Amino acid sequence: MPDRPAVLFVCLGNICRSPMAEGAFRAAAEAAGLEVTIDSAGTGGWHPGSSPDQRAQATAKRHGVDISGLKVRKVRAEDFRRFTHILALDHANLADVLDIRPADATAQVRLLADYIPGRAGEAIADPYYGGPAEFERVWVDVTAAATGLIEALKRR
């Protein structure tokens, strides 16, 4: 079990939603002075080492957050011991994560939107086939979740 909170955000490709969630949460945690390990990964992880989608990078940048240095990776078994929280962006991501959860997992696995007041159990919609408005919607959602998550970790 890690000795400080460690949060892993998981979507399908690790190029749109989870890198934005990682960037928004890192910025919020720094602003709150919270010491926390932060990473993101994909259940698909088709292109390991790739950078986030240009539209995700542009959306984050508009909000003052640089996610250009993040690299795609796939979720792996050790993540379930290295992280205290594994947060899935949608229900398919959650099901896929639970499918590969090893018997000795210590991480709590749940939906990211559980940390948005009034949005528990909801998905953060995949913007991949959308446009700027869908990417902006994701940013708003992951920022709201980041705030709720910080509150929850402070109470821990």
Q: Which chain residues interact with ligand 4NP by CB under 6 A?
A: 11-17, 126, 128
Active-site position among 16, 17, 53, 79: 17
Q: Is 86 or 153 the residue whose CB approaches ligand 4NP more closely?
A: 86
Shortest Cβ distance from residue 106 to ligand 4NP (Å)? 25
What does the radius of gyration of the chain's CA atoms come to, in whole angstroms?
14
Shortest Cβ distance from residue 147 to ligand 4NP (Å)? 20
Q: Is 11 or 75 the residue whose CB approaches ligand 4NP more closely?
A: 11
Active-site position among 53, 90, 126, 141: 126
Shortest Cβ distance from residue 101 to ligand 4NP (Å)? 19
End-to-end Cα separation, the chain, in angstroms: 15
Handedness of CA 5, 119, 52, 57 (dihedral sign): negative
Strands in 37-42's sheet, in edge-to-edge order, are 37-42, 6-11, 85-88, 108-111
Helices and strands: H and E segment counts in the chain: 5, 4
User: Which residues are annotated as catalytic?
Assistant: 11, 17, 126
